[in-house]
Amino acid sequence: MANGVCGICDGAVALPDGTVAGEILRCPDCGTELEVVSMDPLRLEEAPQVQEDWGE
């Protein structure tokens, strides 16, 4: 199991085995949703907020 670092609070984020780029994880310390941007090197970024399209 790999560990990443939350870019918001610097807390440790455990990546379950089999995690791939594009997955969304939650920081256990601050609750921020993080996207796995890259696995090699490991890079986590705050996940984009889903916007409502209001049927457009």
The reply to whether omega before 28 is within 30° of 0 (cis) is no
Distance of CA 26 to the CA centre of its chain: 6
Q: Are 46 and 7 in contact (CB under 8 A)?
A: yes
> In what side-by-side order are the strands of the sheet with 24-26?
24-26, 33-39, 42-46
User: If you search the block for the tokens 């790999």, which residue do you land on?
Assistant: 2
User: What is the chain's pLDDT, residue by residue, as a tens digit (56 residues)?
Assistant: 789 999 999 999 999 999 999 999 999 999 999 999 999 999 999 998 876 666 65
Separation of alpha carbons 10 and 43, rounded Å: 13
pLDDT at position 49? 80
Indicate the DSSP class of residue 7.
T
pLDDT at position 54? 67
pTM: 0.80
